[in-house]
Each structure stands twice: as C-alpha cells, then as structure tokens.
Amino acid sequence: MARSITKENLFVPALNKAEAKGDTTTRVAQSILDVEVAAREAKTARLRAARLAMEAAQEPEPVTKPKARKKPAAKK
C-alpha cells in the first residue's frame, strides 16, 4: 500500500465542455479514419489477388534481346 487514496487519484477530473466536445470530435474522426483504412486495405488485397490471378493465367512473354545498334561511321 504505497499510495494513499485521495480524490485526485481516485476520481478522474471532469472535463470542461470544450474538452469534452474536442474529445468527442477526436474519437469520431479516428473511428471514421479506421473504417477508411480498413476499406482501403481490403480493396488493396482484393486488387492484388485479382492481379496475381490474371498474371498467373497469362502465358509469359518471350524474352527478346535488344537489337544491336550500328556503330557510327568513322569521320575522315
């Protein structure tokens, strides 16, 4: 029992009206952002899976060597 009980450590101080409104706004904004992040990550995963399936279905393109360039004629 290292701490004694006082009203400061037993009860959380009440927020004033502006702080309560700010906290509410922050919580709502954070929840909106969390929903948007989850939707974006789901869409990214869906598109990645579709791209990988499409790439697996396509046959690989043959690798061609680049054509050799002609050397410029020597100047006289």
Check pLDDT > 70 for residue 73: yes
Residue whose structure tokens are 């002609």: 70
Q: Can you give the pLDDT at residue 1? A: 54
Please give the C-alpha separations between residue 64 and each of 46, 55, 60, 70, in angstroms, as whole numbers.
33, 19, 12, 18
With CA atoms as reference, report the closest residue to 15 among 30, 26, 6.
Answer: 26
20-64 pLDDT, tens digit per residue, is 899 999 999 999 999 999 999 999 999 999 999 999 998 877 788
Most confident range (mean pLDDT) of 2-6, 13-17, 25-29, 62-66 is 25-29
Q: Which has more pLDDT, 15 or 37?
A: 37
CA distances, 34 to each of 31, 40, 45, 46, 73 (Å):
5, 10, 17, 18, 65
Return left, alpha or beta for 62; rule: phi > 0 is left, psi -120 to 50 is alpha, else beta: beta
Per-residue confidence at 66, pLDDT binned at 50, 70, 90? confident
